[in-house]
Chain A
Amino acid sequence: MKLRTARLLTGVYLVVALVVVTWPGMVPFARIRPMVLGLPFSFFWVAAWIAGVVPVLFLLDRVERRHRPREDA
């Protein structure tokens, strides 16, 4: 993947995550049911978007590293 694309997609994920955990993006998900893993839906919703940051940044990093001239490998 191109570096620009990877950065753009990461940026999009972060912005979307911010939108769906605040007003008005969160309103449709501000609910108790369905409960997931025993948690009220909105609790799970926020946690899932946060957990998603790890793989997103990890993938970005793989692309970024390919494009960096020799860093401490």
Chain B
Amino acid sequence: MERWVLVTAIIGVYLLATLAIGLMAGRRASRSVAGYVAGDRSFGLLVMYFVTGATVFSSFAFLGGPGWAYSRGAAVFYILAYGALGMAPFYWMGPRIAELGRRLGHVTQAQCITGRFPSRTLSALIALMSLVAFVPYITIQIRGAGIVIEAVTEGHVPLWLGSLVAYGIVVVYVLASGVMAVGWTNTFQGVFMVAIAWILGIYLPFRLYGGVGPMFEQITAARPELLVPPGLDGAGEPWTWGAYSTYILVSVVGLMMWPHLFMKAYTAKDDRTLRRTVILFPTFQLFLIPVFLIGFSGVLFPEAPPTSDFILPFMILRTDLPALVVGLFCAGALSASMSTGDALLHASASVVVEDGVSRYVTLDDRQQRLLMRALVLLTGATAFVFALDEDSSLVQLLATAYGIVSQLAPPVLAALYWRRATTAGVLAGLVAGWATAGFFYFQPALKPFDMHEGILGLLIHVPVLVLVSLATKPQDARHQAAYFGDRIESAS
């Protein structure tokens, strides 16, 4: 049998196992919106750890990370820098959000914000912009899956078909089982990703260069500019500190504002679990070290992949590893893609229905779940179309989406911690922030110090939020007391 057939068979088995886990998981959830969206608030530490890790790290990290290490060198360290710092504030925010959720029945991020700032417009605006940010993110995942499958089957299964099969499976289990499927498949996929990254990341440098140290010595001798931060830009010229630093900043601010991550606060079974997940998260994140090593191992390799995002499967296939191992490695890369893709599809549908549609039309529980399922299909199909004719790098796609998502941080913080904030202030801030980010996204030449458009958006957003809030009437005290759950109103 030819090697690629065997590898394909292994991937097939892996995909079936994922499907089986996803379908079985759904039988544990109740038939309600809380069951479909928040898993009946039942996830324990093991599931939360892997859901969080596997959801945060996607094709972006697993394929895009090595791709950047390979082509842009030290620029890739930005991906390592932000995760833990973005997650840490959730040690305090997470339990607070979860408590509001339990008491007031929230299952989405916009509900958390509009519970404090009642406004249909605000809710629909957040839903719409979340969707705008989600589509490129889902596109990355679908494209990532296609890249892996095309590479390992040596082109026998083209990108479009590989994407279709992998995401067909994701759609089936998300449709059937909701977030329960996301939780349990991510646990399975998370174990896979981490194990494979560490094994391969250590193995490749030893196999090709005799060790990690010798590999970097050789790169230093041949291309020292690659190893000094902030590394190189997409064109191979030195990257700017302004861009490097603001990429980190915008990602720190934006990370937990991704609706699919934020919403995981509602799935934890208790605060203890949520806090432990935050504490342990950096241990998961360190798997980026071997992931980057995989990319660096390609730098001095005599052959080059078609594009830098292909470097991981490219390097795996050029080792003399047995087909079984290659198959498992590729399954790990697929895990990275699918474990984020499923959460994204699920969250985008939940957000659009809960925060968009059902604010205007009255739907019962059953109709809501039906509509969510229709949207999972629709969003998946849209992203699939984009995945086929997208040619910018995986990392670049996500970095762009962060410009939108990071603008959700001020409203969330204002809702949770600033009692003087008003609905008008939050709305004005959001619109100003998104408008600014959008402007600089389309006019990159005007960006001061090459800063990320999301940070520029925040620089306008925060003052607008504060000033408009202070200029408008403070919120009704009773409304606030109900939101914050104040026991004795007059005592505060």
Contacts and interface: CB of A to CB of B under 8 A. Distances in A.
A17 B215 CA distance: 28
Interface string A30-63: 1110010111101100110111011001101100
Contacts of A71: 270-272
A30 B228 contact: yes
B397 interface: no
B286 A47 contact: yes
Interface in B219-251: 220, 224, 227-230, 241-242, 244-245, 248-249
Contacts of B289: 39, 43, 47
A58 B227 contact: no
Contacts of A32: 216, 220, 224, 227-228
Interface stretch (B73-81, B154-162, B349-357): B73-81
Contacts of B276: 61
Contacts of B196: none
B229 A50 contact: no
B84 interface: yes
A15 to B, nearest CB: 9
Given A30-B229, A46-B80, A71-B272, A51 B282 contact: yes
Given A42-B74, A43-B74, A50-B80, A57 B91 contact: yes
Contact of B91 (A38, A40, A60): A60
A71 to B, nearest CB: 6
Given A38-B212, A61-B279, A72-B270, A51 B88 contact: no
Contacts of B215: 38
Interface in A6-27: 10, 14, 17-18, 21-24, 26-27
A50 B224 contact: no
A30 to B, nearest CB: 4
Contacts of A43: 74, 77, 227, 289, 292
Interface string B449-473: 0000000000000000000000000
Interface in B273-311: 275-276, 278-280, 282-283, 285-286, 289, 292
Interface string B98-129: 00000000000000000000000000000000
B208 to A, nearest CB: 14
A21 B249 CA distance: 10
Chain A contact residues (Cβ within 8 angstroms of B): what range? 20 to 34
A53 B272 contact: no
A57 B89 CA distance: 10
B343 interface: no
A20 B275 CA distance: 25
A71 B202 CA distance: 41
Contacts, number: 105
Contacts of A31: 228
Given A14-B88, A22-B245, A27-B241, A47 B213 contact: no
A26 B81 CA distance: 11
Contact of B85 (A18, A58, A61): A18
Contacts of B249: 18, 22
A56 to B, nearest CB: 8
B432 to A, nearest CB: 25
B189 to A, nearest CB: 22
Task: Tell me which of B215, B245, B283 has the highest count of chain A C-beta atoms within 10 A of its own C-beta.
Answer: B245
B203 to A, nearest CB: 14
A26 to B, nearest CB: 6
B83 interface: yes
Contacts of A57: 88, 91, 278-279
Given A14-B85, A32-B227, A61-B275, A23 B245 contact: yes
Nearest to A58: B279
Nearest to A7: B92
B211 interface: yes
B68 to A, nearest CB: 13
A54 B279 contact: yes
Contacts of B211: 38
Contacts of A24: 241
Given A21-B248, A26-B229, A40-B220, 20 more contacts: A14-B89, A22-B245, A22-B248, A23-B245, A24-B241, A30-B74, A32-B224, A37-B213, A39-B216, A42-B227, A43-B77, A43-B227, A47-B286, A47-B289, A50-B80, A50-B285, A51-B286, A53-B84, A54-B282, A71-B271
17 contacts: A18-B248, A21-B81, A22-B245, A22-B249, A27-B241, A32-B216, A35-B213, A39-B212, A39-B289, A42-B74, A47-B80, A50-B80, A53-B85, A53-B282, A54-B279, A61-B91, A61-B279
Interface of B: 74, 77, 80-81, 83-85, 88-89, 91, 211-217, 220, 224, 227-230, 241-242, 244-245, 248-249, 252, 270-272, 275-276, 278-280, 282-283, 285-286, 289, 292
A-B pairs with lowest CB-CB distance, top 7: A38-B213, A38-B212, A22-B245, A23-B241, A30-B229, A53-B84, A21-B81
